[in-house]
Amino acid sequence: MLLSAAERGSFSSAAREMRMPVSTVTRRVTELEEYLGTRLLTRTTRKLRLTDAGAAYLASARRILDQVQQQEHEAKGEFTTARGGLVITTPVQLGRLHVLPVINQFLTRFPEITVELLQSDRNVDLVDAHADLAIRIGNLADSNLVATRIGSLRPVACASPGFLKSHGAPRDLEALMHLPSVVFNSPYLSPWRFRMPQTGKQITIEVDPRLLVSAPDAAVDAAIQGVGVTYVLEHDAAAALEAGQLEVILEEFEVEPVPVHMIHVSRNLMPIKLRRFIEFAAPKLRESLAVFGKK
């Protein structure tokens, strides 16, 4: 309960996660503090914060919980045999186009493993989601996570031929900023990023979206219908570009392709099921993504 309350910053959030009354969670943490004879949490009107004693206690508790979890995996044979469940989180379109086909092949190869695929265009916290592996687009923040690069993806600005005929194709970024836009609100494509061809300097531009969407396929569909210019990853718009429904614009201003990584929590002993998935999936995903990582 202390771990849940500290991670979520409130007793009420911890209570919801554990499906318990808030009063029960509060009482048990208080009883633990009384037993230890020290304050573990500082309570404010907005958030809980760990005291120094609480942080030290929680670090030790996490180590113990990790050891217990490893023992449970060993008891189930997950460190000696490729079996058990894997939870994998990935961006929606990347998951559908690239990761899911690989997972399907993996499940055929390893019949004793099951997979839960969580698809979200928000970066899902591995601990909160109880996930074994995440596939992330974009540069990674410094962390204690282990990262394996599997490719890169090219961001492109594009619009329909009809839209470009009626509005004119922009020749520079200033002209782009004055065109109607369809914005895919994502952690790896917002704001729109470009590179000045003369200096190589990377800049961001702010556009006033005529349409703001939370999924790349919606942005692509709206751009095809002539709502405005959109900025997506090339693989999101690949079918429309090939069919001539969209055209890439301002190629000379494109930034370098953004990296794609597999990440997982660092553990001294990795379950065989996770090791096997990484070994199986990494080369296949590198091959699948290779065509979309070139300018």
pLDDT band at 222 (very low <50, low <70, confident <90, very high): very high
Are 118 and 179 members of one domain? no
pLDDT band at 142 (very low <50, low <70, confident <90, very high): low
How many domains are there within the chain? 3
Structural domain containing residue 208: 155-253
CA–CA dist 220, 237 (Å, integer) = 6
Are 162 and 200 members of one domain? yes
Are 135 and 266 members of one domain? yes
Q: Please tell me which residue, 287 or 8, carries the higher pLDDT value.
A: 287
Domain C-terminal end among 15, 48, 76 = 76
Amino acid at 289: L
pLDDT band at 1 (very low <50, low <70, confident <90, very high): low
pLDDT at 190: 87
CA dihedral defined by 246, 101, 277, 138, rounded to 10 degrees?
10
CA–CA dist 95, 105 (Å, integer) = 14
Are 218 and 285 members of one domain? no
